[in-house]
Chains A and B, each alone.
Chain A
Amino acid sequence: MKKNKRYSIFSLLRNARNYHENWAEAWRSPEPKPSYDAIIVGGGGHGLATAYYLAKEHGITNVALVEKGPIGLGNTGRNTTVIRSNYLWDESAAIYELSLKLFEGLSQDLNFNVMLSQRGLISIGHNQHDMREIRRRVNAIRLNGIDSEMLSMAELRELVPILNLSPNSRYPVIGGSIQRRGGIARHDAVAWGYARAADDRGVDILQHTEVTGFRIQGGRVEGVETNRGFIAAPKIGVAVAGHSSVLAEKAGFRLPIESHPLQALVSEPLKPIFHTVIMSATVHVYLNQSDRGELVMGAGIDAFNSYAQRGSPMILEDMLAAAVELFPIFSRVKMMRQWGGIVDICPDASPIIGKTPVAGLYFNCGWGTGGFKSIPGSGFVFAHTIAQGEPHEIAAPFALDRFTSGALIDEHGAAGVAH
Chain B
Amino acid sequence: MLHIECPYCGPRDEIEFSCGGEAHIARPSEPEALSDAEWADYLFMRANPKGALAERWCHGLGCRRWFNVERDTVSHEILRTYKMGEPRGGGSGGAGA
A230-272 contacts to B (CB < 8 Å) = 243, 245-246, 249, 254-259
Return chain A residues, CB-CB under 8 Å to B73.
259, 304-308
Return chain A residues, CB-CB under 8 Å to B50.
243, 246, 307
Q: Mark A290-331, 1 if CB is under 8 A from B, else 0.
A: 000000000000011111100011100000000000000000
Report Cα–Cα, A254/B73, bound state, in Å. Answer: 18
Query: What is the count of residue pairs linking A and B with beta-carbon distances less than 8 angstroms?
Result: 67
Return chain A residues, CB-CB under 8 Å to B74.
306-308
Report Cα–Cα, A141/B30, bound state, in Å. Answer: 42
Of the residues A254, A313, A405, contact of B36 by C-beta under 8 Å: A405
Return chain A residues, CB-CB under 8 Å to B44.
256, 347, 403
Report Cα–Cα, A257/B49, bound state, in Å. Answer: 11
Asked if A306 meets B76 with Cβ closer than 8 Å, knowing A256-B44, A256-B46, A405-B36, the reply is: yes
Q: How far is the CB of B2 from chain A (nearest CB, A)?
A: 8
Q: Are A308 and B75 in contact (CB under 8 A)?
A: yes
Q: Size class of A's contact patch? A: 20 to 34
Q: Are A304 and B55 in contact (CB under 8 A)?
A: yes
Return chain B residues, CB-CB under 8 Å to A403.
40, 43-45
Report Cα–Cα, A303/B22, bound state, in Å. Answer: 12
Q: How far is the CB of A346 from chain B (nearest CB, A)?
A: 9
Report Cα–Cα, A314/B14, bound state, in Å. Answer: 10
Task: Name the CB-closest residue of B to A249.
Answer: B49
A374-409 contacts to B (CB < 8 Å) = 403-406
Task: Name the CB-closest residue of A to B35.
Answer: A404
Report Cα–Cα, A345/B97, bound state, in Å. Answer: 20
Q: Are A255 and B45 in contact (CB under 8 A)?
A: yes
Jot down 17 A-B pairs with beta carbons below 8 A, ordered by A. Answer: A243-B50, A245-B46, A245-B48, A246-B48, A254-B41, A255-B46, A259-B73, A304-B19, A305-B48, A305-B55, A307-B50, A307-B73, A308-B75, A314-B1, A314-B15, A347-B43, A403-B40
